[in-house]
Structure 1
Amino acid sequence: MQNHQQQMQGFGGGIIGPQYCAPYNVDLAIVRKVLTLADSFSVTDINGQSPFTLKGSLLTLQDHRVLLDAAGTPVVTLRRKLMTAHDRWHVFRGDSSDMKDLIFSLKRPSLFQLKTELDVFLAHNTEEKVCDFKVKGSWFERSCVIYAGESLNIVAQMQKKDTAQSIMFGKDNYMVTVYPNVDYAFIVALIVILDKINKRQKK
């Protein structure tokens, strides 16, 4: 655990921002409406507060999303790189799409996967020889684990939670636990992209 804390402190206490880091576990519920034309995500914490909402454009349904904070201010912009086989996504600060504002990118390490695996590279890791974070999971089981780099240090976990209400109203409910000193805005952005990649693979 000490190595994990040292590693997270090496990222300056926050990948997107230190205000999204807490010295304790952060539990979030992410709900996605699945019977709508455009994806609709809501994020709530254990106090019922909504730290983030997701905004998308119908004109760029597959490749562009903006994560907003509770005040409606853009936190990050998620953009899928077109014409790429590995489902590469870029995440920029605020509502920017300029490479100078790049925070991190991610891609599938291989084209054919039985289980979901994504490699995450922070902006300064331009050589991309070793990933900074790795996402592993089974989308069929609606669960995933996010690790720090190639290590076994877990920084967040997600699992699907089925309820009578979610089934009746066509919603996907994900319960996410973000570990101490880990940027939970970063984790939410990863899960949104993970969801988009897996939706594309079903088509």
Structure 2
Amino acid sequence: MASSFQLAPSPQPVGIFGPYIARETVTLVLREKVMSLTGDSFEIKMQNGQPLMRVEGKLMSISGRKSVTDLNGNHLFDLVKKHLHIHATFVAEDKSGKELLTVKSGFTLLGSKATATFTSLNGVATTLKMKGNWFDSAAEIVDEATGAVVARIDRKLLSGRDILFGQQTYALTVAPNVDMALMVAMCIAMDEKNNESGGGFLG
């Protein structure tokens, strides 16, 4: 389902997981504070309620490991926190433990920021920057090479019907030619970092 507003297509493919490259502007609904101490699992859904992928927490995991699968249970990636870093660092790993994506987060005066680095499907080393303003409850993810906005996070887009997914939800709008699973990984990493600091991503 298309978003309430449209994002321009990325001038180059941005992503790791080919089947999840958006063909049009797509809005997903994500839960804030995505994992609880009970290690519950849940589905990430399209704005129309159609499930897209599943997130599962690992109980008693020191690294706070989160496994993300498709709806058939096929493994996409594990998101793992790396310790002994000045800035909170998360990596997305495949089944063999190979690092697919690195997300480093930090704080600005009025919000939060993150940098994601990975090798895209076309073999290009890619850096994405995410900056959010907690007071506006919004953030954008920008491709450093092209300056294109590849995704936007915004609570204000959600209608009352969408909020039925949960009391704390936000919309992730992904531009055409951009990997939805990759954008989800960035959001989970930022959410985890901000939960450690006593608040949700858009809190």
TM-score range, shorter chain: 0.7 to 0.9
* Structure-to-structure mapping, 1:188-203, within 5 angstroms: 188-202=184-198
Letter in structure 2 aligned against 1:19: P
Say which of 135, 151, 158 aligns to 2:153: 158
Identity across matched positions, percent: 25
Say which of 96, 102, 105 aligns to 2:102: 105
C-alpha displacement of 1:165:
9.1
In structure 1, runs of 5+ residues without a counterpart are 125-129
Q: Distance in 1 between matches of 2:74 and 2:35?
A: 27
C-alpha displacement of 1:85:
2.2
In structure 2, runs of 5+ residues without a counterpart are 1-6
- How many residues in Structure 1 have an aligned counterpart in Structure 2? 185
Kindly report the root-mean-square deviation, in angstroms, between the aligned alpha carbons of the 2 structures. Answer: 3.2
Contact 1:16–1:186 (8 Å) recurs in 2: yes
C-alpha displacement of 1:36:
4.8
TM-score by length of 1: 0.76
Q: Distance in 1 between matches of 2:159 and 2:143?
A: 28
Q: Distance in 1 between matches of 2:60 and 2:53?
A: 22
Change (3 A) 1:49 1:159: same
Counterpart of 1:22? 22
Q: Distance in 1 between matches of 2:137 and 2:73?
A: 28
Question: Between Structure 1 and Structure 2, which shows a larger proportion of helix residues?
Answer: 1
Change (3 A) 1:141 1:196: farther
Contact 2:34–2:191 (8 Å) recurs in 1: no
Counterpart of 2:75? 74
C-alpha displacement of 1:140:
4.8
Contact 1:159–1:175 (8 Å) recurs in 2: yes
1:174 aligns with 2:170: yes
TM-score by length of 2: 0.76
Deviations 1:146-187 (CA, angstroms, capped at 9, x unpaired):
0002653100001124749959x9731111110001000100
3-state DSSP of counterpart to 1:132: strand
